[in-house]
Amino acid sequence: MEKSVGILIASTICLFFLLGITQASKESQKPHFFVEGIVYCDPCRSLFKTNLSVPLEAAGVRVRCTDPKTHKVTFDMPSVTNSTGFYSVRVEGDHKNAICSVLLMESPMENCNETPCGKLDYETFNVTLTNNKNNDNNNGNIRRVNDFYFFAKEASPKCKQEFKNMQDIPKLKHMIRCGPFTYM
Ligand SMILES: *[C@@H]1O[C@H](CO)[C@@H](O)[C@H](O)[C@H]1NC(C)=O
Ligand SMILES: *[C@@H]1O[C@H](CO)[C@@H](O)[C@H](O)[C@H]1NC(C)=O
Ligand SMILES: *[C@@H]1O[C@H](CO)[C@@H](O)[C@H](O)[C@H]1NC(C)=O
């Protein structure tokens, strides 16, 4: 009697275990993506990385998808950066027919919370969240987007020298509209 109860319990545990495995593999087969990037404080107000850029912890970002026809939000997920300025947003599902973007939301630093032209528009990146085979990126389901920068209220006096030391200053034509930036 005791033996058969034991067997029953053992086989029940085994059954749950197997269910768990199939559940887990189904879970990993569902399309999902990781949108990743880094948020910096830019003490040079330059919108590109220098040796003076500092990764920002607890900066807010969000991944949002909208239907281009109805303008309805079809996915929306906030996230924050960790101590290395890094964020990784897990996106469930395939968003083939949506416009998806990564938005910079919030700075944790009062003296480093400005954005170019006072707008967040320059701190938005579109991202393709589909495994559509026409999509020619080979990064699997990881979407690494460009760095985000919050500007310090005033450019650090060290920046001039930093720009002089740099071999290549990235050209940011679209920024000229709302300059001047310190490197110009
Ligand atoms: C920060 O997040 C990234 C991406 O999720 C991860 O690779 C890294 O190990 C994290 N660093 C710390 C210090 O938690
Ligand atoms: C993102 O895509 C939409 C639709 O194609 C476009 O209107 C918008 O300008 C794009 N945004 C960026 C930051 O490239
Ligand atoms: C930035 O730091 C690296 C590593 O310390 C150094 O090799 C490089 O020359 C620095 N760049 C500038 C522009 O000072």
The minimum-distance atom of ligand 3 relative to the CA of 51 is 1
> Which residues lie with the beta carbon below 6 Å from any ligand 1 atom?
82-84, 86, 88
Q: What's the rounded mean pLDDT across residues 20-47?
A: 78
Q: Is residue 106 very low, low, confident or very high in pLDDT (cuts 50, 70, 90)?
A: very high
Place of tokens 């026809």: 69
Q: What's the rounded mean pLDDT across residues 145-156?
A: 91
Domain ranges of the chain: 1-30, 31-180
What pLDDT, on the 0 to 100 scale, is given for residue 140?
80
Nearest-CA residue for atom 6 of ligand 3: 51
Whole-angstrom distance, CA of residue 97 vs CA of residue 129: 9
Whole-angstrom distance, CA of residue 96 vs CA of residue 106: 28
Q: pLDDT: is 153 or 139 the higher one? A: 153
CATH code of domain 31-180: 2.60.40.10
Q: Is residue 31 very low, low, confident or very high in pLDDT (cuts 50, 70, 90)?
A: confident
Residue-wise pLDDT for 110-124, tens only, equals 999 998 777 776 788
> Which residues lie with the beta carbon below 6 Å from any ligand 3 atom?
51, 162, 165-166
Query: Residue 64: pLDDT above 90?
Result: yes
What pLDDT, on the 0 to 100 scale, is given for residue 73?
97
DSSP string, the chain: -HHHHHHHHHHHHHHHHHHHHHHHHHHHHS-EEEEEEEEEEETT--SS--TT-EEPTT-EEEEEEE-TTT--EEEEEEEE--TTSEEEEEEES--TTSEEEEEEEE-S-TTS-B-GGG-SGGGEEEE-----TT----STTEEEPPPEEEEPSS--TTHHHHHHH-S-PPP-GGGGGG---TT-
Q: What's the rounded mean pLDDT across residues 80-108?
A: 96
- Give percent above pLDDT 90 in the chain: 51
Query: Residue 175: pLDDT above 50?
Result: no
What pLDDT, on the 0 to 100 scale, is given for residue 183?
47
The minimum-distance atom of ligand 2 relative to the CA of 121 is 13
Query: Residue 59: pLDDT above 70?
Result: yes
